Structure 1
Amino acid sequence: MLRIFIVAFLFAGITFKAGAQQLAFPGAQGFGRFATGGRGGTVVHVVNLNDSGPGSFRDAVSQPGRTIVFDVSGVIRISDKVLVAPRITIAGQTAPGSGITIYGNGVSFSDSTIVRYIRFRGSINMSKGTCTVIADHLRDIIFDHVSITWGRWDNLHIKQSKNVTLQYCLIAEGIDPQRFGALLEVPVDVTIYRSLFTGNQSRNPKAKARIEFINNVIYNWGKSGFVGGHSSADHFQDLAGNYFIAGPSSTPDFLSMFTATDHVYHKGNYADLNKDGKLNGRMVTDADFRKEKATLLAEPTLLAKSKTPVIPAAEACKIVLKEAGAAMVRDAVDQRIVGYYKSMGKRGQIFKTEADAGGQPEIKAKFSAPKDTDHDGIPDRWEVRHKLNANDSTDGNVISDSGYTHLENYINSLIK
């Protein structure tokens, strides 16, 4: 029987370098970039694709202060929502083969969490109000290269949270009854960066928020693209270097439902509405936002504070095409979705159910984790190469010269 290997580390004597805050990982951007995840805690190996029980993903994320590594790849079919405890790192990049897909219901997150290279997919079998990913009432979380699809209300829901980043993510194909992308209900200090919203009827996202929206692509929206807060409360939205690209399902309404309480700073955004298969859009203007009744700002609310870099929108399109979602190894679903975007207006559809979209394909499970004698999450060969002890379960938690633990150095090294 496969067993779960949990390695408890000793906290005594561990000191973090003084000075600037440590990034969640090299390349982390935005307001969630300092999330600590499971740094300094325990390591849990996911060793099967079961919905629950020893060795499962659900069990692994059930306790705080953990780094989750995967000894298996494939589809984990969940019947009920998974609740992720605080201070968790989910290192999806450690999964062999085609990576990990969590399919069938929602996943709810907590404070101080790092989530990388994993796919979360809902299902028409969920209750109709269910979102695929929920990040409500928390502080400090970063999603990096994460695919979020097939939510029944919204794919993504963020409510009253602070210091949130989504970078290089794929938020796509919301299904019945709403088929919406993301609802941001009054979170503050939210960064959405170099991500792809596609195949959603609306809410790409709906930004009742203090948010910076930087170098993203919104493709093949249905009724509307980026939606303002549209409420009596004040909201602040910085939009810079984004590209709105209409697809077969799209109306001309790439912006929608702003009011005077939406305080918008915008710069370098483009809209391509001709559906001709080429990237040849025009600059988004003040008039586009004034038509929607937004209040325009001469200076950004958040950009100077977060220092998130902004590149030209056309350049961002190329990066998003290459990197959005769990892109180390894209599965057939993500390849299809990104293929629609690659058509630049010619292909794409808004689906009612995941079955209409082709469903969740079977992926042959792969159990080929490298040998890890002390079960500290670091393969023996990496430990030997870096002068660690493959029989010492505590050395992975030692802080290295980089400011990360040796375990973090290993899981970060997997990103090419």
Structure 2
Amino acid sequence: MTLTDSPTSRARTTYGAVLGSPHVARLLSGTLIGRLPNGMAPVAIVLLVTTDGGTLAFGGLLSALYGLASALSQPVKGRLMDRHGQTRVSGPTAILNSATLLALPATGTTGSPALTVMIVVLGGLSAPPLEAGLRALWPSVLPDPVRRHTALALDTGTQGLLYITGPLLVAALTTAHSPALALAVTAALGLAGTALVLTAPPSRAWQPTATRVGGAPGRLFSSGLFMLFVALVGIGVAIGGMNVWAVAMAERHDTDLLAGVLPAAFSTGSFLGGLLYGHRTWPGTPTRQLLTGAGGFALGWLPLLTLPTPAPATAVAFVPGAFLTLIVARSFTITDTLAPPTRTTEAYAWLILSIGVGQAAGAALAGRLADHPHALAALSAVGGALALAVLLLSLPGRSPARPGRHRRWGG
């Protein structure tokens, strides 16, 4: 893997100092709010379909289509952002996404399945690329690498909370009123979060390097970047397999709550691991840190092979989650190093897509293995081992790479 590796110091910072830096709290909170629909819309769509009298299978199909369309369109939206800036891309997509979410209950989901599918796919395609956009802003908002390291870890570690908070909020709104209200709130949150980001000075002034220097787009996929994305597919396989394994555990032990508790334990581990990781800069190069995270992630799944009971299984799910933020944060750092400076947002979007594709593949494979408990329990470990093996195999022949560069928003 062609990485520029340099040892990091044991410098420290505080979350208060990072969040107190100009625009950081606004950008982070805006992105989290604007991305809540990613965790809310798929659940709200299923509930809307079943409330309208449709089948759970149709609701599940629509939910999967929304997520798949959102993931597959990320690189295109990232490339458009690299060419035209954040406001011209995220603004219109957020409006269109919210409009589709409001249109679903208005048109109904059972009268015309084809129209419903079209609306859902359009909604997924138009999900604003806030995550990739935020990662592109950090170098200009936080020039200090120590504070930027902490912000990236906090940013990455809190992503899992979206998939805990979002479904819970949808369930509460549906119980109190209806799925239509849940979709309306989802649409409003998406618009509000996106507006909070896009009206911030760093986002309004951010320009890709190509705009500033008139550079050509450049070749995106070096061998190192390609291998990194392949490794992240393995990480996604482990996560997707874990979600289905949690449902299987709930059925096996006749405890519906486990289907939510086990993924929540994994996400909690990611959040707390991110807090620990971001509190300071750690020794070792980015590559070594990535390998450490991938090794811990892969080993953390091995206890599942013993088919543990619910309490130990919950503890097991926490362990690999604790390494996830390290993996994702360092993957973004390495991507910034390997991608051409004119296409960094697009590269970040491919990184996000790689994990998403792995999750979909992991869930599909796990569904096939649902009747084979040992094989299902081993799937997440296999995904983690695949990621670690790809990273190890891609290390020989390292050579320096040009670091990504962006114009600072302030000048």
- What TM-score do the two structures reach when normalised by structure 2? 0.24
Which protein has the bigger helix share? 2
- What TM-score do the two structures reach when normalised by structure 1? 0.24
Which protein has the bigger strand share? 1
